[in-house]
Each structure stands twice: as C-alpha cells, then as structure tokens.
Amino acid sequence: MSRISGIFNILATPFTADYAVDFDSLRRLVGFQMDIGAQGLTILGVMGEAAKLSVDERRAVMDTVIDAVSGAIPIVVGTSHSELSTCIALSEAAFAAGADGVMIAPPPMEDKSDPAILALYSKIAERVSGAIVVQDFPPVNDVIMSPAVLAQIAEAIPKARTLKLEDPPLMQKIDAIRGETDKFEIFGGLGGMFLLEELRRGASGTMTGFAFTEILVAVYEAHKAGRMDDAEAIFDRYLPLIRYENQPLINLTIRKAFLHRRGAIADPTPRPPFNPIDAGTEEEISWLLKRVGIDDPTQRLNL
C-alpha cells in the first residue's frame, strides 16, 4: 500500500451518445489525467457511475484503464457490490490485472452494528489477495461506520489500512479516528472541498473526481513541502471552481461538462438516470472559468 498516497483522480466513465461505454474516450481520459499530474487513479467509484455498469462492463473498464496506465501510476479499483461473491470476484480480477488496491464500501446491511461491519471486512480480507481501501460514504449504502469500528478494522486487518473518508464532519472524524489508531492512511473526497483542512489534520491525500486534478496536486505538493502560504493561495484561488463543481444532484453532470471542455472526453452526458444541467449552468461554467483566470481549459494549468 505504500504506493497509495497523494492525489488520486476518481476517473469518470465516458459514454457515447447512445450510452455505450466509450473506450476511446476512456483511454484519452486516462492519458489526460496522467498528463495533468494525477498521482493515482481510482476507477469505478460512485462518480465513475459503477452502479450503472454491468459486471462485464466493469471488468472491461478496469482492463482498459490498467492497460492504458501500464504501471506508471497506482490504480485503485472500486469493487463494491450488493452481492459479496461478486465483490470478491471483481476484487480478485482487479488484483490479477495489476491493481494496487480495491475500494470497498459495505453493501446495504440489515445489521449495521460495529461487530457486523468488522466481520464483513474480515471476511473480505480472508478471500482477497491484496490491499483494501475502506470506503466510508454513508449516502451510497446508509451504513455509518463509527471511528471506533474503523479503528478496529485498521488494527485487526492488515490488508485494510487505507480509508476513503466521506462522512462529514470530515476533519473531526479524522481526529476521532487518529485518537483510536495510527494505522490508517486516510484519504478525503467530497470533490476536494476540504482538501487543505484534511491535509492539516493528517490526511494522506484525497480521492476525488474534480476535473482540474493539477490544482489539487499543486496544493498537496506545496503542503507536503511545508509551503503553507502557497498551498493556501492556490486552494483559495480555485475554491469557487471546486465549490461549483460539487453541487448536489448535478455534480456528476457538471464534472463531465468540465472534462468535455478540457477535451478529455468526446461526450459529456452521463448514463441514465442522471440530473441534466441547463443552459444557465453552461453559461455559469464559462463565467466561472473566466473568473478564476482559466483561458484555455484544454491546457494543463501553470501552477
């Protein structure tokens, strides 16, 4: 798990106009993210629309991305599934293909107690051969994992010592977990909205699909080097962009609109069901890019 640190882009899944997976755009997007400095990729996450893909499509996306990256940067593959056997099969396929880790959230559970959650991850760890990123994102499964049970997972399961934390208040939960264990590498999310604060509380990086990955990398690198003034200045300059992209209900659609404007994908439309954006939102995107000084979004920002 030593390769999993820094800024991981949660890769979008591009689709054609008739909603088939666009593998040409997927390869283009992988190259784009690497060119703008992504330090790792997390694929088939919530914002990768994994829940809308068949198992065969998920395997094809995974194989395409791993082949395109060719070992240049680490890859974490989302393998969450309502059926545990399918989750295990997807996880083992990911490791066989060369993934550095798999990201797993608990499925919807009748018994959401701490012992049941710990037992679930213990069972998964017994059956998969590599590292597990524990995904703590209650909206996807209505399972709230306490700092205590997360600490128990890290202490008891050596394969599960990376956490993707998206259960606000994020910074307070980081501190609560750190008060229980020092064995977790903790990553934030939520569009990068709290990256600077997360890093100050000891996060190891973030995993998010924000369309301007190079901004988050610049913040992370400045913070890592102890240049806090630079980290704050970069983050604060582009915070309007981060905030706007992360709007509830339409965040995925806005993110794909940005990626399309950046030339990274051919078609910005998510696979149904999704919430569309209107002409006013498209105009606001143009206004916002101008406000933060991005003249040509197709180019890597000079930070």
Smallest CA-to-CA distance from 212 within 261, 250, 155, 164 is with: 261
Does domain 6-291 bear CATH number 3.40.50.10490?
A: no
Please report the sign of the dihedral spanned by the C-alpha atoms of residue 156, residue 130, residue 31, residue 24: negative
Four-point Cα dihedral 169, 175, 181, 187, nearest 10: 60
Residue 139: how many CB atoms within 10 A of its CB?
A: 8
pLDDT at residue 2, rounded to an integer: 54
**Domain residue extents for the chain:** 6-291
Angle between helices 170-178 and 147-156 (to 10 degrees): 50
The reported pLDDT for the residue numbered 3 is 75
Read off the pTM. Answer: 0.95
How large is the C-alpha radius of gyration of the chain?
Answer: 18
161 close to 1: Cβ distance less than 8 angstroms: yes
| 70: helix, strand or coil | coil
Would you say how long the chain is, in residues?
303
What residues contact residue 23 under an 8 Å CB cut-off, 6+ apart? 60, 64
Rounded Cα distance, 80 and 102, in Å = 9
**Which ranges of 83-207 does DSSP label H, i.e. alpha helix?**
84-97, 114-127, 147-156, 170-178, 195-200
Cα–Cα distance measured from residue 190 to residue 237, given in angstroms and rounded to the nearest whole number: 18
Strand-pair partners of 21: 15
Mean pLDDT by 10 residues, the chain (303 residues): 83 97 98 98 94 95 97 97 94 96 94 96 96 95 96 97 95 96 95 96 96 98 98 98 96 98 98 97 97 97 95
Contact call for residues 214 and 37 (beta carbons, < 8 A): yes
The one-letter amino acid at 168: P
Q: Longest C-alpha distance within the chain, in Å?
A: 53
Residues 5 and 38 sit within 8 Å (Cβ to Cβ): no
pLDDT for 178 equals: 95
